[in-house]
């Protein structure tokens, strides 16, 4: 091929390359123009849409965008967990509950119940042990109890079948430091004018808020309506021991407590309370003038052997539930000569499956109201019970004795003894039988039962 021909071919190739480069540049310029036009068109559409949205909706959109950003930031935090909490009827998550229902909230002792709930929270009984969760949860617990009774007075007898108990407890865990409990009950009594099926009114028995976290602080506080920390009243009886009638006090007030129990369940507890007195002198009506102290010491020698010793003092024993009713019937609630100081001592000893309990309550001066001297009264309660928890059907037997002194004026028996048995044939149920004999003071009325036989069937959830 000649040189002339080669030069011609090189010219054609170079011209083609330059032409392609020019074409590509034109295409890129056109694409940029198209992109710019699309951006302008999008801005025009957004402005048109925004102009048609009300101002209120714009603010809502902006608020929603901020909420999404906050939610995203929260989800990135490793210290917070986000998942729904169902309302539950069990106090314990993730473990097998007790056959007899003793771990249910409704089965907790009503005395010092705020401390009991704090102790179980500290052990991780709720939320599967995750006490760092900051979202509230609710547990429900309740009881229904039916009783058949036969009562024999001096010259008459009574028999009855009654729904003796309906209770619904609502425990709210607000956060790891704050919890609240409300207990709703119903009135099973009848009046002369109204049949009891028409008188089954609901009422609030206990409701309180507790601030505390025992893993972080030994101090805790409670405010609301509950039994004040005076006495222990630990008993298996279906009826009320004399010391309970003489000393147990429901009030609306505040409690400051100290929990000094170590990891081996040994140590000292204490609390003080302040409330408005329900009985008082004429000069102290509607004042915070009732208060008291409580302390107890617990020691566990082994898993089955333990002892608990406690004492309490109250500024006004006349505020106890039973004595208040007596004074109210006599129209003497606010006619006390002076406040009635009271003391309480108790001891509970556990030896394997046996438990022995003793409790003493006494006024420290005479109760004088509206010029009537009700004397200086006292009482003691002794009880022994045997548990058969290792058998196929958990059960208990108990025997108790009560003695009072100078208590005829407040309508309590001179002494009484009772014997009874408990069994749990089915899970979360109770079957109980109790026989009680009361001896009255010679000058007392026959309104107090001389003999009573009770049979009870209860279910708990």
User: pLDDT for 254-289, tens place per residue?
Assistant: 999 999 998 888 999 999 999 998 898 877 788 888
Q: Is 26 exposed, middle or buried (0-12, 13-18, 19+ CB in 10 A)?
A: exposed
- pLDDT on residue 154: 76
- pLDDT on residue 93: 47
Q: Which domain holds residue 268?
A: 105-460
Closest CA to 92 of 120, 70, 113, 133: 120
First to last CA, the chain: 107
Tokens representing 34 are 């198209």
Residue at 36 is within a domain: no
442 phi and psi, to 5 degrees? -60, -35
Binning pLDDT at 50, 70 and 90, where does residue 236 land? very high
Binning pLDDT at 50, 70 and 90, where does residue 24 land? low
- pLDDT on residue 61: 45
Mean pLDDT, the chain, whole residue set: 82
Q: 202: alpha, beta or left, given left = phi > 0 and alpha = psi -120 to 50?
A: beta
Residue 236: count other Cβ atoms within 10 Å of its Cβ. Answer: 20
Residue at 15 is within a domain: no
State the pairing for strand pair 305-314/342-351: antiparallel
Residue at 329 is within a domain: yes
- pLDDT on residue 67: 52
Closest CA to 308 of 274, 359, 273: 359
Question: Long-range contacts for 183-187 (Cβ within 8 Å, ≥24 apart)?
Answer: 183/207
Residue at 62 is within a domain: no
- pLDDT tens digits, 393-432: 889 999 999 999 999 999 999 999 999 999 999 989 999 9
Q: Which residue has the higher pLDDT, 97 or 233?
A: 233
Tokens representing 364 are 């420290």
Task: Give the chain's largest Cα–Cα span.
Answer: 152
C-alpha count within 13 angstroms, C-beta hemisphere, residue 417: 3
Residue at 321 is within a domain: yes
Binning pLDDT at 50, 70 and 90, where does residue 218 land? very high
Binning pLDDT at 50, 70 and 90, where does residue 104 land? confident
pLDDT at 48 over 80: no
- pLDDT on residue 107: 77
CA distance linking residue 220 with residue 112, whole number of Å:
12
Tokens representing 265 are 């369940």
- pLDDT tens digits, 191-211: 666 778 887 889 999 999 999
Are the CB atoms for 133 and 72 separated by under 8 Å?
A: no
- pLDDT tens digits, 171-185: 998 888 999 999 999
Count, residues in the chain: 461
- pLDDT on residue 394: 87
C-alpha count within 13 angstroms, C-beta hemisphere, residue 103: 16
Scan for tokens 């003092």, then name that residue: 313
- pLDDT on residue 5: 56
**Range of weakest confidence among 85-89, 249-253, 302-306, 320-324:** 85-89
Tokens representing 134 are 């900051």
- pLDDT on residue 90: 55
Tokens representing 427 are 């899970």
Q: Which residue has the higher pLDDT, 285 or 19?
A: 285
Q: Domain containing 387 — which CATH number?
A: 2.40.160.10
Binning pLDDT at 50, 70 and 90, where does residue 444 land? low
Residue at 23 is within a domain: no
pLDDT at 71 over 70: no
Q: What is the mean pLDDT of residues 441-451?
A: 71
Q: Which residue has the higher pLDDT, 444 or 407?
A: 407
Tokens representing 453 are 């036989």
Residue at 46 is within a domain: no
CA distance linking residue 245 with residue 231, whole number of Å:
11
What are the angstrom distances between the C-alpha of 415 and each of 88, 142, 410, 436?
44, 33, 14, 11
pLDDT over 90, % of the chain:
55
pLDDT at 82 over 90: no
- pLDDT on residue 155: 78
Tokens representing 20 are 């392609």
- How distant is the alpha carbon of residue 401 from its chain centre? 31
- pLDDT on residue 449: 72
Binning pLDDT at 50, 70 and 90, where does residue 94 land? very low
Residue at 94 is within a domain: no
Which of helix, strand or coil describes residue 311?
strand
- pLDDT on residue 30: 66
Tokens representing 294 are 């409580």
Q: What is the mean pLDDT of residues 423-444?
A: 90
- pLDDT on residue 81: 42
For every residue of 18-66, DSSP letters joined together read: HHHHHHHHHHHHHHHHHHHHHHHHHHHHHHHHHHHS-HHHHHHHHHHHH
Residue 358's DSSP bridge partners are 347, 382
- pLDDT on residue 255: 98
- pLDDT on residue 1: 52
CA distance linking residue 241 with residue 436, whole number of Å:
10
Q: Per the structure, how many domains does the chain have?
A: 1
Binning pLDDT at 50, 70 and 90, where does residue 126 land? low
Using a cut of 0.85, tell me whether the model's pTM lies above it.
no
- pLDDT on residue 284: 76
């Amino acid at each position: 091929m000649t040189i002339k021909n080669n030069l011609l071919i090189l010219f054609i190739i170079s011209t083609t390359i330059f032409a392609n480069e020019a074409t590509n540049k034109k295409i890129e310029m056109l694409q940029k123009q198209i992109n710019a036009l699309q951006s302008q068109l999008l801005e025009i559409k957004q402005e048109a849409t925004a102009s048609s949205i009300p101002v209120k909706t714009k603010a809502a959109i902006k608020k929603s965008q901020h909420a999404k950003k906050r939610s995203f930031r929260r989800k990135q935090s490793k210290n917070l967990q986000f998942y729904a909490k169902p309302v539950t009827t069990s106090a314990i998550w993730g473990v097998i509950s007790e056959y007899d229902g003793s771990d249910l909230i409704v089965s907790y002792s009503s005395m010092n119940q705020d401390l009991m709930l704090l102790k179980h929270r500290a052990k991780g009984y709720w939320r599967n042990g995750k006490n760092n969760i900051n979202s509230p949860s609710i547990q429900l617990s309740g009881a229904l109890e039916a009783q058949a009774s036969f009562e024999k007075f001096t010259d008459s007898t009574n028999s009855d079948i009654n729904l003796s108990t309906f209770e619904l407890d609502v425990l709210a865990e607000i956060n790891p430091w704050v919890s609240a409990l409300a207990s709703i009950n119903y009135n099973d009594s009848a009046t002369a004018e109204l049949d009891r099926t028409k008188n089954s009114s609901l009422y609030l028995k206990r409701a309180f808020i507790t601030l505390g976290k025992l893993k972080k602080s030994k101090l805790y506080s409670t405010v609301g309506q509950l039994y004040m920390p005076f006495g222990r009243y630990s008993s298996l009886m279906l009826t009320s021991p004399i010391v309970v009638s003489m000393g147990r006090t429901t009030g609306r007030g505040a409690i400051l407590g100290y929990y000094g129990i170590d990891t081996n369940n040994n140590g000292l507890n204490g609390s003080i309370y302040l409330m408005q007195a329900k009985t008082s002198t004429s000069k102290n009506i509607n004042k915070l003038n009732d208060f008291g102290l409580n302390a107890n010491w617990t020691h566990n020698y082994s898993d089955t052997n333990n002892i608990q010793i406690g004492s309490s003092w109250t500024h006004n024993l006349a505020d106890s539930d039973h004595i208040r009713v007596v004074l109210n019937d006599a129209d003497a609630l606010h006619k006390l000569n002076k406040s009635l100081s009271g003391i309480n001592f108790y001891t509970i000893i556990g030896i394997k499956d046996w438990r022995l309990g003793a409790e003493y309550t006494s006024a420290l001066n005479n109760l004088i109201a509206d010029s009537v001297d009700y004397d200086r009264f006292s009482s003691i309660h002794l009880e022994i019970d045997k548990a058969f928890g290792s058998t196929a059907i958990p059960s208990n037997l108990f025997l108790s004795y009560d003695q009072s002194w100078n208590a005829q004026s407040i309508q309590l028996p001179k002494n009484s003894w009772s014997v009874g048995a408990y069994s749990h044939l089915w899970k979360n149920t109770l079957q109980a039988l109790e026989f009680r004999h009361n001896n009255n003071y010679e000058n007392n009325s026959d309104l107090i039962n001389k003999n009573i036989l009770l049979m009870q069937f209860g279910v708990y959830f």
